[in-house]
Structure 1
Amino acid sequence: MAAPRSSARGSSARGGTTAKGTKIAQVPWREPRPAPIVLVSGPEEVLAERAIAGVRDYLRAEDAALEVSDIRADDYEAGSLLSVTSPSLFGEPRLVRVAGVEKCTDAFLQEALKYIEHPQEGATVILRHTAASVRGKKLLDAIRAGTGGGIEIPCTAVKRDSDRVDFAAGEFAAAKKRIAPTALRALVSAFADDLTELAAACQQLVNDVEGDITDDIVTKYYGGRVEVSAFVVADTAIAGRYGEALIALRHALASGADPVPMVAAFAMKLRGMARVAGNREPSRQLAQRLGMKDWQVDRARRDLTGWNERSLGMAIQATARADAEVKGGSRDPIFALERMVTVIATREPFGA
């Protein structure tokens, strides 16, 4: 059930955090709400579409008579914004969706700057800016400074594998649907290059599958696309999930993964852990000193949970041995990989 309109459209600080340098709330895209002005910023179109649809659904839940209008800021007819936000004869609430603000015309910019000084009562104006250019910066700065009593819904790019996993996990959590960790990893791997397709795949599984989503279900639906990456195998083993790690390894090999880069992924992860281990410097300072990225330091520190000097040294030795064996030192590179994964995931000598 939607919250009362007054609570949604009151103080912009309610229901979201305020980013540094701004005076308006930064609202998560999964928890959109209306305000006189809603700035949907950032390049990730899937998240932006969800946020805009969420604001529409919120308003419709309050009043089914909601009037919805669309305007393009890059092909703008003078007077359009005031026309579609003005109260109708029966005073229905209005939602105006404005696309292409990053390419807006001078006419739109002038009218929008004037509009946010005195937004129309009962109107919600959504401004979509992809951040592809600085066009419209004056308008964005004014909104972020608090003019118009707006909010901002950031839709930042989803680039890292961990971000895609978090996105997909959130899709199933929002639908109150359980998915096995290995199935989640396999699904993300299948759509690693396209968040739109990943979102569609998640929704298909949510809608089509009764009960929990398993590895077999993901393979049934998307088996032709699933390719478990070396880093998925490494992450699972380093986290101590032995059974999942072996399944992921065998799946990766069945998908045509090469043992040599597989070992290289483990070596890179363990090397980062070893460089960070025992160091209490702030992430940024340590990253600069070691020539790493901040997020790499943070990830290595998270990976070190449950590890000690002995187990880390043993894992590095096992990886060095596997590296030699998959490069010709053994007749069975698959066994070499399995032995390496076993040592790392169990943190015990092989066969112990």
Structure 2
Amino acid sequence: MATRTRRPAGARPASKIPQLPWRSPQPAPIVLVSGPEEVCAERAIAGLRDYLRAEDPSLEVSDVRADAYAPGTLLSVTSPSLFGEPRLVRVAGVEKCTDEFLAEAISYLSHPQEGATVVLRHTGASVRGKKLLDAIRSGTGGGVEIACAAVKRDSDRYDFAAGEFQAAKRRIAPAALRALTSAFADDLTELAAACQQLIADVEGDITEAVVQRYYGGRVETSSFVVADTAIAGRYGEALIALRHALASGADPVPMVAAFAMKLRTMARVVGVREGSASLAARLGMKDWQVDRARRDLVGWTEAQLGLAIQAAARADAEVKGASRDPVFALERLVTVVATRSPFGS
């Protein structure tokens, strides 16, 4: 007898509608833009507008708030006008929608208006509107979904920035791209703006020197510069970079996190004799991350690496409240990493 695979309780049913990348949106009667990453969602919605406007410059654009909804609005803005112009309706706040909107939107799925594209933005911050989302994902209304997952990992930010330049058909040196993503490691919106500024202002290929010229202050004070300098064994420079970063308002918590991330990556590749591509695929990393970790490991022993990882764990606890002096905790971490020896030895 065939066995049935049971879905875990609370798991979302498999979507039956096309899943589109946010960089390449396509119109449909219903477009669900889901997920928390606002930068990607904004790009997707703007891309849909540009797509439809290129097809017909007479496009009518309407904005609706699902959390401050006036009954009858959805039908009103999607109904054909006298001249039959195409309509784009952008609905925000679906994760906070009113009961009236929810009822009318579910009803609308059964009879979408011809010539209308309704974009529903749901951040996923709540389960509000789940019945509507499930109906869309079941195929009712002929919809598509553009998922905008949170960009959290360094590799994801690197891919995001690389995609910005690829979309603009511009070349950026790998070192320049790493410097740029390190400089804006905490804010995807700022990273996106920085990419667009370089694309707009710089002619020709974008080099590391260009990134330094535009964002040198951010790059110099970034957490990763402090970590890189200490890991390279340049103790004096690392302390100067640390003090510069702290004077510029850097937060000790992400600074320790930068050390921990790099040391963990080094620990994952130490002693492994395997090609960068295959090792990166096996570990869920990028080729350049493996290559960088191997360069960072030059001159390190496994015992020294273990000592540094312990120091990073201690510093992490101290900057999160276990110590009254997070600056001292950071200086001690830099000392242990840069000298590759116990503090005070």
Is TM-score (shorter-chain normalized) higher than 0.5?
A: yes
* Map of 1:113 onto structure 2: 106
* Map of 2:122 onto structure 1: 129
- Partner SS for 2:67: coil
Q: Distance in 2 between matches of 1:23 and 1:321?
A: 48
Moved more, 225-234 or 208-217: 225-234
Matched, 1:273 2:269: yes
The one-letter amino acid paired with 1:139 is: L
**What is the TM-score of this pair, normalised by structure 2?**
0.70
- Residues 205-249 of structure 1 deviation map (CA, whole Å, 9 limit, x = unaligned): 000001111122111111111145449977xxxxxxxxxx97x99
Aligned positions of 1:40-51 closer than 5 A? 40-51=33-44
Contact 1:168-1:202 within 8 A present in 2 as well: yes
Contact 1:263-1:319 within 8 A present in 2 as well: no
Matched, 1:79 2:79: no
- Residues 316-342 of structure 1 deviation map (CA, whole Å, 9 limit, x = unaligned): 44955996xx999xx9x86x68xxxxx
* Map of 1:148 onto structure 2: 141
Q: Distance in 1 between matches of 2:305 and 2:215?
A: 34
**What is the TM-score of this pair, normalised by structure 1?**
0.69
Give the 3 Å change call, closer, same or farther, for CA 191–313 of structure 1 in structure 2.
Answer: closer
The one-letter amino acid paired with 1:214 is: T
* Map of 1:255 onto structure 2: 241
- Partner SS for 2:217: coil
Counterpart pick for 1:37 among 3, 21, 30 = 30
The one-letter amino acid paired with 1:272 is: R
Q: Distance in 2 between matches of 1:249 and 1:180?
A: 28
Counterpart pick for 1:61 among 54, 72, 78 = 54
Aligned residues: percent identity?
A: 62
Give the 3 Å change call, closer, same or farther, for CA 297–136 of structure 1 in structure 2.
Answer: same
Contact 1:102-1:135 within 8 A present in 2 as well: yes
- Residues 43-98 of structure 1 deviation map (CA, whole Å, 9 limit, x = unaligned): 11100000000000000011001011110000000000000100111111100000
* Map of 2:211 onto structure 1: 218
Cα displacement (A) at 1:264: 6.3
Cα displacement (A) at 1:269: 2.2
Question: Cα RMSD between the aligned structures?
Answer: 4.2
* Map of 1:299 onto structure 2: 285
Cα displacement (A) at 1:188: 1.0
Stretches (4+) displaced over 2 A: 227-234, 248-258, 260-278, 295-308, 312-323
Moved more, 113-122 or 220-229: 220-229
- Partner SS for 1:211: coil
- Partner SS for 1:25: coil
Gaps of 5+ in 1: 1-18, 235-244, 279-294, 338-352
Contact 1:231-1:266 within 8 A present in 2 as well: no
* Map of 1:196 onto structure 2: 189
- Partner SS for 2:119: strand
Aligned positions of 1:7-46 closer than 5 A? 21-46=14-39
- Partner SS for 2:181: helix
* Map of 2:81 onto structure 1: 88
Q: Distance in 2 between matches of 1:160 and 1:196?
A: 15
The one-letter amino acid paired with 2:266 is: L
Gaps of 5+ in 2: 1-11, 246-254, 275-280, 312-330, 341-345
Give the 3 Å change call, closer, same or farther, for CA 29–79 of structure 1 in structure 2.
Answer: same
* Map of 2:175 onto structure 1: 182
Contact 2:226-2:241 within 8 A present in 1 as well: no
* Map of 1:103 onto structure 2: 96
Q: Distance in 2 between matches of 1:79 and 1:25?
A: 29
